[in-house]
Every structure is written in C-alpha cells, then in structure tokens.
Amino acid sequence: MADRQTPQLELSGITKAYPGTLANDNVDLTVLPGEIHALLGENGAGKSTLVKIIYGVVKADAGEMRWLGDRVTVNNPSEARALGIGMVFQHFNLFETLTVAENISLGLDEPHDIKTLSGEIITISERYGLPLNPARHVHALSVAERQRVEIIRCLVQNPKLLIMDEPTSVLTPQEVDSLFGTLRQLSKEGCSILYISHKLDEIQSLCDAATVLRMGKVTARCTPARETPRSLAEMMIGSALPTCKRASRAGKSETVFSLNGLSMVSSDPHGTDLKDITLELGRGEIVAIAGVTGNGQKEFLCALNGEQATADARMIEMLGEPIGKLGPKDRRMRGMAFVPEERLGRGAVPEMSLAMNALLTGYLRNLVRRGFTRTGHIRSFARDIREAFKVKAPDIDVEAKSLSGGNLQKFIIGREIMLDPKVLVLGFPTWGVDVGAAAAIHQAIIDLAARGTAILIVSEDLDELFEICDRIAVIAEGRLSPSKSTRTTNIEEVGMWMSGAFETGGHAHAS
C-alpha cells in the first residue's frame, strides 16, 4: 500500500455525547482505499456510534469527515450511500413480511423496477459467492442468508467503503471463512472495508490496519498482524483478558434435569419449532447450548422457563418430576431459576427500581406475606444482591434502565443465584456486556456449579462456552445435536454442528 495515498475516509475530532455518557470523544480515523480496517473495542466502547455517524444515522456533536480528501457532511443514510458508503448493521434492518428484492429495493435511492433489480441481485450473489433467491420472503431466511441480503443491498450500489458491524456473531465458523473470502475479494477490487469487532483472532487474520477504541477514545492504532492477542487485548481493555478458574470435575453426577424428546410449535408465526430435543443435566454440571441465533433459542428458553407449556408434561423433568405443563412460578417453586436473553423488559422492568426488580422473581423468598409486599425484606434482598455481585449503582432506588448493560446483568444473574436454585438456565448471559462484567458473571456461574447447581447456558459465543462449560451441544433449526465434553471436541466440529450437520436422537453422552 502506497504511503502517500489519499485516504478513502478520514475522520477527525468526532465527538458525540448522550445523556450521561460520552460515546465518542475526539475520535480520529483514517481508512485507505482497498484497506480492510478494523475498528476494535469492547462492548460500549463507542464503535457502533462512530459508524452510525459515518453512515448518517446519528449526528456528531463536533468533528469533521473527509471523503477522498474533500470535506463532507452526511445528514442521512441516503447521502452516505450517494457518496459510496454501504453499511451492514449488527441488528439487521430487514422487513420480515417483504421479499428479498423488496428489502433491497428499500435501501436504494434511485428509481428502479423490482424485476431488473432481481436480475442484478442474482448476478452479484453469484459473483461474490452469496447465494440468495430474490423472490423469497425474509422471514423464511436463515440468519446467514439475512446477512447476505444486507451485504448485497450494499453491493448493488457499488460502494467504495463497506462498513460491517460485528458481522460474525451470527455466523458459524465455516460461514465466517466464506464471509472473509467475500470481503478479501471486495478489498482486492478496491473497496475499503471498515470492520468492527471485538474478536481478536478475526481481526488478526483479516485486517490490514486497526484503530482501537476504549470508552469513546482512540487508544491505539496498529497493524494487527504485528501484534499478539495479548497486546491487542491490552489496547482494548487496558489489561490482559481476564480468565476464570474452574476446578476440573470428576465423572458423572446424578441427573437433576432432563429434556425427553421436547417438541414444541413456536407461538411466533415466523419462529422456529423445537423438534425432539433430548438432554440431561447432572448436579453441578455446566452444559452449553451453542448455535446461531434464530435457530430456536428463543422458543427453547420459553419452553424451559414455562412460558409455553409442552404437549406432554414428561418432556421436561426435574428431579424425576414431570414439569412440562407447569408455569414459571411452579417451576421456580421446585428450584428452577432463569436468566432471560433480554435484560430490559424481560429480565428487569426498565422503569422500576432495583428493589422492585428484586421482587420480580424474588417473590418466593419471604418477600410477600398474605398477599402484601414486605418493603423491608425486599429492600434488604436488593441490597444483598447489589453487594454480593458488586453491582455498580448509587442505591437500590435507581431505575433498572439507568444501569449499564453489564451491571444490570450482574444484578439479574445475582438475583437468580441468590434464590439458591437447583437448576439455573441462562440465555446469552454476557451478550453486550463489557469484559470485566463478563468475567465476573463467568466466575459467579462457576462458583454456583461448584455448590451443586446444574447449569444450562444458551449462547452464541463459542469462546465463552468452551471456557466455562463441561459439555456442549448445538441447536440448529430447532433440533439439538448430541452433546460432547468440551475437552474432546473443538470449534471446528461444533461449527459443523451449527450448520445442522449432526445425527440426532441419540442420548449420546460422550465424556
């Protein structure tokens, strides 16, 4: 790469404040033509805000942007597209009830007709190895296919800069490889790529240059290939990545919780049905359910929590008792606890105080007597959670939504752990959580298992699952793979399973 090249994109002094936080603080960023440039940072570092500013979704409070050397202002996404900027968001901006072609059409600014567009979509999809049928409805697509819609939506407009916001969190390892192939091809053709991620290995294998953000500020610029994961982690979080300690477990323990051919029709017409899921959980065991989001995790968690009853009560058994037809309250009375995938609005009521949120699922403790709530008990329970799990909150009267993602998650998980469960189910426990909080959460889970609780974690973060779990299984299109000990399997095998390549039905219990 020539040294004197005019940058494709140059940002200087970008600042953006939200009430209570400074999302971007005087950020500079330079992306050269054809360069794959990493924007590295942990959750909440301000990466998403920065790219939304580039794409014109969010307005910066201060700073300037240059495009091929010329000063530009981008007031909305269509101006960004006119410049030649395309963006694939982390949360897809797709419309389920519309077709692929209609979805792509909605992201274009010039007039066009759907038929010609469909032809173009097919051409591009073949050229870049992104197979896609323009006439299909989005709700029928897998997550990887949905991402292709987003990518093709950008490519149709011949972008000079493609922004990808955490694109691999929804892909299997094999799909990641093929995405990287596409991105390298684009870069060879001269398209710059701004690649946002917190995954160090990906950045090292893919990116030419990196800018590192921490708490809204640029902390480093580097060439990833010349760094080590450890040095990158230090730039990103200011210290080495924390690891947690887990005593190795001996042998098989008594079964506490079992799923026996669990099948269920999704209540969401666009959802995934569960098909014949079989799994056993031993005392003190931590079992992982990996898989790409949208493969039935939502329904699986609903079924475990009891929000939707099973057809046959014996499909779910706890300590030998069929509980498939019991609701959440009855399951909790038998010693289940549950951390849902959504923090605000499900795991916690956003506009209620932490104290009231302690009561939300803490009601089976001594917080209610003869139908009346006991304020003193509720408050001391909330205080205990806050202290035991180091939740950073000024007091227990603040609204749940005022806490950061990591702190609120510590509170929710803390609440469930304090209920002293025999079985704890967690959905995506560290999603969107900062590294420090994630480590604390992992340690809390491990400690709970050491006290004998059987734990089931549903997550898409393979690194996390391999780090803390004893056994791993994969959910794909509503079916569950056999489970294997995390010591006898590896990311490649699990990746194969994630694409649905496994035999089901066995009570395979390899360890």
Q: 212: which 2 tokens?
A: 């590192």
Nearer to other proteins, 165 or 227 (CB): 165
Half-sphere exposure of 137 (CA within 13 A, CB side): 6
Q: 49: which 2 tokens?
A: 């805000």
Binding to other proteins (CB under 8 A): which residues in 239-278? 268-269
Segment contacting other proteins by CB under 8 A, of 14-22, 27-35, 309-317, 491-499: 14-22
Alpha carbon distance 215, 237 (integer Å):
9
Residues 6+ positions from 24 with CB-CB distance below 8 Å: 14, 15, 16, 46, 49, 50, 53, 60, 63, 216
Encode 437-464 in three state secondary structure.
Answer: HHHHHHHHHHHHHHCCCEEEEECCCHHH
Q: In whole angstroms, how close is the CB of 65 to other proteins at the nearest point?
A: 14
Alpha carbon distance 500, 477 (integer Å):
7
Nearer to other proteins, 28 or 351 (CB): 351
Q: Bridge partners of 282?
A: 255
Taking CB under 8 A as the rule, which mask of x and - marks residues 168-207 in contact with other proteins?
----------------------------------------
Under the binding rule (CB under 8 A), the answer on residue 313 touching other proteins is: no
Nearer to other proteins, 373 or 490 (CB): 373
Under the binding rule (CB under 8 A), the answer on residue 120 touching other proteins is: no
316 within 8 A of 303, measured Cβ to Cβ: yes
Binding to other proteins (CB under 8 A): which residues in 48-67? 56-59, 61
Using the rule CB under 8 A, which residue among 287, 359, 465, 498 binds other proteins? 359
Using the rule CB under 8 A, which residue among 22, 68, 72, 98 binds other proteins? 98
Cα–Cα distance list, 365 to 381, 420, 440 (Å):
9, 10, 25
Q: In whole angstroms, how close is the CB of 82 to other proteins at the nearest point?
A: 10
Nearer to other proteins, 170 or 207 (CB): 170
Alpha carbon distance 332, 306 (integer Å):
10
Segment contacting other proteins by CB under 8 A, of 181-189, 209-217, 309-317, 352-360: 352-360
Nearer to other proteins, 284 or 347 (CB): 347
Using the rule CB under 8 A, which residue among 17, 122, 309, 496 binds other proteins? 17
Segment contacting other proteins by CB under 8 A, of 86-94, 115-123, 242-250, 380-388: 86-94
Q: In whole angstroms, how close is the CB of 357 to other proteins at the nearest point?
A: 9
Under the binding rule (CB under 8 A), the answer on residue 411 touching other proteins is: no
Q: How many helices (H) and strands (E) does the chain have?
A: 16, 23
244 within 8 A of 429, measured Cβ to Cβ: no
Under the binding rule (CB under 8 A), the answer on residue 220 touching other proteins is: no
Q: In whole angstroms, how close is the CB of 106 to other proteins at the nearest point?
A: 5
Under the binding rule (CB under 8 A), the answer on residue 425 touching other proteins is: no
Under the binding rule (CB under 8 A), the answer on residue 72 touching other proteins is: no
Using the rule CB under 8 A, which residue among 96, 126, 321, 463 binds other proteins? 96
Distance of alpha carbon 62 from the chain centroid = 30
6 within 8 A of 19, measured Cβ to Cβ: no
Using the rule CB under 8 A, which residue among 328, 405, 432, 436 binds other proteins? 328
392 within 8 A of 402, measured Cβ to Cβ: no
Q: In whole angstroms, how close is the CB of 437 to other proteins at the nearest point?
A: 20
Under the binding rule (CB under 8 A), the answer on residue 309 touching other proteins is: no
Cα–Cα distance list, 120 to 114, 158, 386 (Å):
10, 12, 56
Give the helix/strand (H/E) hosting 337: strand 336-339
Under the binding rule (CB under 8 A), the answer on residue 115 touching other proteins is: no
Encode 225-266 in three state secondary structure.
Answer: HHCCHHHHHHHHHCCCCCCCCCCCCCCCCCEEEEEEEEEECC
Segment contacting other proteins by CB under 8 A, of 65-73, 183-191, 221-229, 330-338: 330-338
Kindly write down the DSSP assignment for every residue of 113-141, as one continuous string: -HHHHHHHHHHHHHHTT----TTSBGGGS
The footprint of other proteins on this chain (CB under 8 A) covers a number of residues equal to 63
Under the binding rule (CB under 8 A), the answer on residue 146 touching other proteins is: no
Under the binding rule (CB under 8 A), the answer on residue 345 touching other proteins is: yes
Segment contacting other proteins by CB under 8 A, of 88-96, 245-253, 468-476, 497-505: 88-96
3-state secondary structure (DSSP) of residue 475: strand
Packed helices 405-418 and 354-362: angle between N→C axes, nearest 10 degrees: 40
Under the binding rule (CB under 8 A), the answer on residue 398 touching other proteins is: yes
Alpha carbon distance 330, 168 (integer Å):
38
Taking CB under 8 A as the rule, which mask of x and - marks residues 363-382 in contact with other proteins?
x----x--xxx---------
Using the rule CB under 8 A, which residue among 327, 452, 505, 506 binds other proteins? 327
Kindly write down the DSSP assignment for every residue of 368-388, as one continuous string: EETTEE-HHHHHHHHHHHHHH
Q: In whole angstroms, how close is the CB of 433 to other proteins at the nearest point?
A: 19
Binding site for other proteins (CB under 8 A): 17-20, 56-59, 61, 76-78, 80-81, 89, 91-98, 102, 105-107, 109, 111, 268-269, 305-307, 327-332, 338, 340, 342, 345-352, 356, 359-361, 363, 368, 371-373, 398-399, 402
